[in-house]
Amino acid sequence: MKNKFEQTSQPIPEQIRERMLKEPEYLPSHGDIRIAFPTQKEWSDYRVEVDFHELLNKEFLAALSDYLAKRITAYGGTKEHPVVILEAGAGDGRLTHFLCQGLEERTKGKFRIVAVDIGEWIPNPPFPVENIDYKEALKEHKPAIVICSWMRPRTDWTADFRGQKSVKEYILIGEKYGGASGRDWETWGVKLNVDSGGPIERPETAPYKVDGFESFDLEDISQHQIACTDYPPLEHEHSHTVSFRRKS
Per-residue confidence (pLDDT) for residue 3, from 0 to 100: 43
What does DSSP say about strands 190-192 and 130-131: parallel, antiparallel, or unpaired?
A: unpaired
Residue 4, in any domain of the structure: no
Residue 7, in any domain of the structure: no
What would the mean pLDDT of 134-145 be, rounded to a whole number? 98
Instruction: Judge whether residue 195 has pLDDT over 70.
Output: no
Residue 50, in any domain of the structure: yes
> In terms of residue numbers, what domain contains 132?
13-246
- For Cα atoms 207, 132, 86, give the angle at the middle one, nearest 5 degrees: 55
Per-residue confidence (pLDDT) for residue 221, from 0 to 100: 97
Largest interatomic CA distance in the chain:
68
The domain that holds 115 is classified in CATH as 3.40.50
Residue 74, in any domain of the structure: yes
Nearest to 82 by CA among 56, 110, 57, 59: 110
Residue 227, in any domain of the structure: yes
Per-residue confidence (pLDDT) for residue 7, from 0 to 100: 44
Per-residue confidence (pLDDT) for residue 9, from 0 to 100: 60
Question: Is residue 187 classed exposed, middle or buried when 0-12, 13-18 and 19+ CB atoms within 10 A define those classes?
Answer: buried
Residue 143, in any domain of the structure: yes
What is the spatial distance between Cα 210 and Cα 188, in angstroms, rounded to a whole number?
13
- Which of 28-37, 73-82, 146-155, 173-182 has the lowest average pLDDT? 173-182
Number of compact structural domains in the chain: 1
- Find out whether 236 and 59 touch, Cβ atoms under 8 Å: no
Residue 6, in any domain of the structure: no
Q: Which amino acid is at 244?
A: F
CA distances in angstroms from 242 to 9, 53, 75, 219, listed in the order given: 36, 16, 18, 8
Per-residue confidence (pLDDT) for residue 58, from 0 to 100: 98
